[in-house]
Amino acid sequence: MKIMAICGVGLGSSFLVQMNIEKILKELGVSGIEVEHADVASAMPGAADVFYVSKDIAEGLSIDAPMVVLNSIIDMDELRGKVEKTLEDFGLK
């Protein structure tokens, strides 16, 4: 499966979320999941199975695909909970 983190320009904060997701996946011992980052315009169905988006961007965004909304992009505990939930949803845990 593939997770894509999204931010306005697709360079900085989405990259940060990507690296944090990868770190959490490693801690959980889950492998084989592709994590990428991109800008809002690239967030379209088919680009990934699930999109991670910060709350302020999610308000102006509509993608016809599963979307995980983050209240804070620097809160590792929130992210860990949501990654675990994603893994459950996709039957990987």
Residues that bind other proteins (CB under 8 A): 7-13, 15-16, 19, 22, 37-41, 54-57, 59-60, 71-74
Tokens of 22: 């990868």
User: Least distance to other proteins from the beta carbon of 91, Å?
Assistant: 25
Q: Which is nearer to other proteins, 27 or 74 (CB)?
A: 74
Tokens of 3: 């997770």
User: Least distance to other proteins from the beta carbon of 37, Å?
Assistant: 7
Sheet order of strands, 67-70 included:
34-39, 2-7, 50-54, 67-70
Q: Identify the H or E element spanning 77.
A: helix 76-89
User: Least distance to other proteins from the beta carbon of 15, Å?
Assistant: 6
Q: Which is nearer to other proteins, 41 or 91 (CB)?
A: 41
Contact (Cβ atoms closer than 8 angstroms) between residue 18 and residue 36:
yes
User: Least distance to other proteins from the beta carbon of 88, Å?
Assistant: 26
Q: What backbone phi and psi angles, to 5 degrees, belong to 37?
A: -135, 150
Q: Which is nearer to other proteins, 73 or 83 (CB)?
A: 73
